[in-house]
Every structure is written in C-alpha cells, then in structure tokens.
Amino acid sequence: MKIKYFEDTDTAIFEFTDKEIKETREVTENIYLDLDEHGNMVNITIEHANKNANIQEFSFQRIIKESA
C-alpha cells in the first residue's frame, strides 16, 4: 500500500494495488474509488484531504490477532 499526498492540490491518494483501473466511482464530491475489472478497490482519492480527512497527522497500525 502506498499513500501519496500532493500538498499543492491538497489531494491524498491511497494506492492498494497496481492493477489497471477500469472504473472510477464518485462516493462524494471529494472522494473517488478506482476499481479494477472485478470491482476490487485499486485506489481511493480524497480531494481537499486536509479538511476532509484530517491528513495533517497520519499513523499506521497493523493489528495481528494472535493464535490461541
């Protein structure tokens, strides 16, 4: 997964795979989902990310459930 932030346009792109985009769906006026040929998510684009997603601070946590 890659996250790209373009400060000049205040755009954040979350890239999940490098598959070819076959369709883009507008979720809201500022959020778009890019899908592959099977309908799986490729990217999420957030316009005005600073306002819409509080992109000023970002952290990542991976939670792994331990086996009993």
Provide φ and ψ at 3, rounded to 5°: -125, 125
Token code pair at residue 37: 């040929």
pLDDT tens across 3-47, in order? Answer: 998 989 999 999 999 999 999 999 999 999 999 999 999 999 999
Token code pair at residue 45: 């684009």
pLDDT the model gives residue 65: 85
Can you give the length of the chain in residues? 68
Asked if 26 contacts 44 with a C-beta cutoff of 8 angstroms, the reply is no
Token code pair at residue 67: 């086996």
pLDDT tens across 47-68, in order? Answer: 998 887 777 777 777 888 887 6
pLDDT the model gives residue 23: 98
